[in-house]
Amino acid sequence: MSQETNAVAEPVQLPPQHKEKPKQTKAQLTLQELLDSMKGVQEDIGQICELMSEEKVFVPEFFASFLKLVQPIASTLPVSTAILPREMGDVAQALVDPLGNLILLYEDGYAKIENLREEKHRDLMVAIVKDVTPKIRLLINAHRQKIEERMNFLSSVTKEMQKVSRAFSDATSSEPQ
């Protein structure tokens, strides 16, 4: 019986040893997967750094263009309060100026200005640009129509003025002196 006990004891000991070997293999695979993952993370970090570097160049260029586009047509543009993050609180009215400042007005009269050029506001800046771009288009169209109306008025008035001034010039030059 002692042999049977030993025989039974040995198989009991073998499976744990046998299980330990797959754990070691699995640990090695896990280590390799971890190393592969870390290499992927390193590549991602490199891309993030490159993208952030490019973003630092594009944001000032964007706001320089935004200023040139918006300043002639509006001192501020309305921003939908629905797109603002909840952390900003109960905003009654939001406006963006041509310099890229977000002006937040609250019901209690409190006002706050956020600089959209700051890195911490990149996602908010994108949301605001998406919100105001159709409004800019409407303002530009209205501005164009206003100029067209002025030009039509000036063109008609100028033609009549030219006729009148020629007639007056002809009349005064034909008078004997």
* 57 domain residue, yes or no: no
% the chain with pLDDT above 90: 70
pLDDT tens digit sequence for 77-121: 999 999 999 999 999 999 999 999 999 999 999 999 999 999 999
Placement of tokens 């109960």 in the chain: 90
Is residue 162 located within the same domain as residue 83?
yes
Is residue 81 located within the same domain as residue 135?
yes
Say if residue 28's pLDDT is above 80: no
Number of compact structural domains in the chain: 2
Tokens in use for 75? 């001192």
Q: Report the distance separating Cα 53 and Cα 46, nearest Å.
A: 11
Is residue 92 located within the same domain as residue 127?
yes
Average pLDDT over the chain reads 86
Is residue 86 located within the same domain as residue 159?
yes
Domain of 159 in residue numbering reads as: 71-174
Q: pLDDT grade, residue 5 (50/70/90)?
A: very low
* 162 domain residue, yes or no: yes
Q: Report the distance separating Cα 96 and Cα 125, nearest Å.
A: 10
pLDDT tens digit sequence for 51-87: 999 999 999 999 999 999 999 999 999 999 999 999 9
* 39 domain residue, yes or no: yes
* 167 domain residue, yes or no: yes
